[in-house]
Amino acid sequence: MTPERVLQYQAKGAGFTLSYATELVSDEILEFLFGLAKEREIVKWMHRMQAGEVVNLSENRAALHTAMRLKKGAKHLSTAALQAAELAWGQLDALSDFLPTVSGYTDIVQVGIGGSSLGPEAIYHALKAYAIPGRKAHFIANIDPDQTAAVLQSVNLAKTLFVIVSKSGSTLETVTSEAIIRSALIKAGLDPTLHLIGVTGKGSPMDEKTRYRALFYIWDFVGGRFSVTSMVGAVVLAFTLGIETFFHFLDGAYAMDGVALKDSLQDNLPLLGALIGVWNRSFLGLDTVAVVPYAEALARFPAHLQQLDMESNGKGSDRQDSKVTYPTGPILFGEPGTSCQHSFFQLIHQGTTPVPLELIGFTTSQRGYDLKVNGTTSQQKLVGNMLAQSLALALGKPEGGFPGNRPSQLLIGQRCDAHTLGALLAYYEHKVAFQGFFWNINSFDQPGVELGKHLATRMIGALAGSQVAPLEEAFARLLGSASSTR
């Protein structure tokens, strides 16, 4: 490791610097990977995706989440992208008109699961330092009644809005939670239609304006895990942070969308990150990746990335429905540093299986509340820890049983604000899409999730009507019937 390598192996874009000197790559490896990327036309596939061509082949759909943050007046748009953007602009205009009508409310509860919860929750927690005074967001995702009860008991129902989010309008967990919430509002002597907002697909079972105070729409070309910048995230984030802050968030994502279209590897941060990830996973055979943000504000961000990455690229079949012969999506996990240095970092430093690290950090604190202790601020100590971990993994200490030569990278921004966070979100969305294009898998469907939903419905039917659920008997019956129909 030399200072020259550190300076050479970095790239910049949309306010971020990606430093990858501590990855196990060389000029020759990067040239090799970029050559394969050109053969697979993965940048062209990114252009096709953002233009609205069909890239979700199994469902014959576009994946136009990027159109949700297109600027009005943007030039050189395809017809499909422009039409999608116009739908988004119309919904944002409607949201801007709606927000002043609920100025007396203090709390908002997002009710949805998977992509209808993880992304919006991660972004809210990351930006709540900028929230409108007196405004708070809460999230109900799990069908566990204890989560619903805990949220309902923590808010003043008379001053709380509930955003019910389900593209299909029939998601089991969401429909169940909505029924409980309606019942609680009625018991409190409140009119549910004054407190409930719907976010759903056109024509879904939820598409009934009389059921909700306001109704907003999402579309099939925006997948759940890619939907944060659509109305899935817009309502809860604009209510708590303000519509202008939400627009800054969209602007950041839009900036990274443009970076992802660049042809040069050094100018295309998501492409560079994707190819290094492919090298670690498919060529070095490393099964996992840990995303560690050195920012407590991003505590929920790894949870969102787990769905984004593993639901997208956790595939064993390619786009032609043939079995792949190489490793695809990694197992992703993460927690904020420095806290996790005192938990799973022991394995990362000395365990028998190398774990690539993606470290996210910011040079400036978010809230500006800090103090010098022993010559340095807490923010300097935080960043210092991040840099030290990367260096320690690379160099090791053979006499102490630290093998070294363990891969990591640094993604560094100035401050965790709305614009920066939008760019960070889009960076990972495009990194995941690029890897899917490289591996020739469909990053935009989730058949494994659908199988689980189908069997859950059957199991719930087997449990219905019993006061004390005979779990073992019900499971045995379902297992037998499922096996007989395979």
124: nearest Cα among 416, 369, 363: 416
Q: Are residues 28 and 109 in the same domain?
A: no
Q: Are 364 and 273 in contact (CB under 8 A)?
A: no
Residue 7 maps to a domain:
yes
Q: Which candidate in 44, 209, 453, 454 is catalytic?
A: 453
Please give the C-alpha separations between residue 365 and each of 370, 383, 482, in angstroms, as whole numbers. Answer: 8, 10, 53
Q: Which candidate in 23, 173, 178, 311 is catalytic?
A: 311
For residue 242, is it left (φ>0), alpha (ψ between -120 and 50) or beta? left
Residue 98 maps to a domain:
no
Q: Are 21 and 1 in contact (CB under 8 A)?
A: yes
- Residue 362: the pLDDT is 98
Please give the C-alpha separations between residue 444 and each of 309, 339, 419, 429, 463, in angstroms, as whole numbers. Answer: 11, 33, 25, 11, 33
- Residue 426: the pLDDT is 98
Residues of the chain with pLDDT under 70: 453-455, 459, 461-486
- Residue 401: the pLDDT is 86
Q: Which candidate in 72, 187, 323, 342 is catalytic?
A: 342
The domain that holds 131 is classified in CATH as 3.40.50.10490
Q: Are residues 227 and 160 in the same domain?
A: yes
- Residue 395: the pLDDT is 93
Q: Is 38 a catalytic residue?
A: no
pTM for the full predicted model: 0.94
Q: Which residues of 306-331 are buried (b: 16+ CB within 10 A; e: fewer)?
A: bbbbbbbbbbeebbeeeeeeebbbbe
Q: Does a cis peptide bond (omega within 30 degrees of 0) precede residue 338? A: yes
Range of the domain at 175: 104-241
Domain total for the chain? 3
Q: What is the DSSP code (8-state) at residue 281? A: I
d(CA 479, CA 173): 23
Residue 97 maps to a domain:
no
- Residue 477: the pLDDT is 63
- Residue 73: the pLDDT is 85
Q: Is residue 74 classed as helix, strand or coil in its secondary structure? A: coil
Residue 115 maps to a domain:
yes
Residue 344 maps to a domain:
yes
3-class SS string, 180-230: HHHHHHHHCCCCHHHCEEEEEECCCCCCCHHHCCEEEEECCCCCHHHCCCC
Take residue 284 and report the two structure tokens written for it. Answer: 């070095």
- Residue 483: the pLDDT is 54
Q: Are residues 286 and 412 in the same domain?
A: yes
Q: Is 335 a catalytic residue?
A: no
Q: Are residues 109 and 214 in the same domain?
A: yes
Q: Is 311 a catalytic residue?
A: yes
- Residue 456: the pLDDT is 73
Q: Are residues 463 and 423 in the same domain?
A: no
Q: Are residues 371 and 332 in the same domain?
A: yes
Last residue of a domain, one of 209, 241, 273: 241
Residue 72 maps to a domain:
no
Residue with tokens 């990067």: 30
Q: What is the pLDDT of residues 314-372, one digit of tens each?
A: 999 999 999 999 999 999 999 999 999 999 999 999 999 999 999 999 999 999 999 99
- Residue 364: the pLDDT is 97
Q: Are residues 171 and 229 in the same domain?
A: yes
Bridge partners (DSSP) of residue 216 are 199
d(CA 437, CA 442): 8
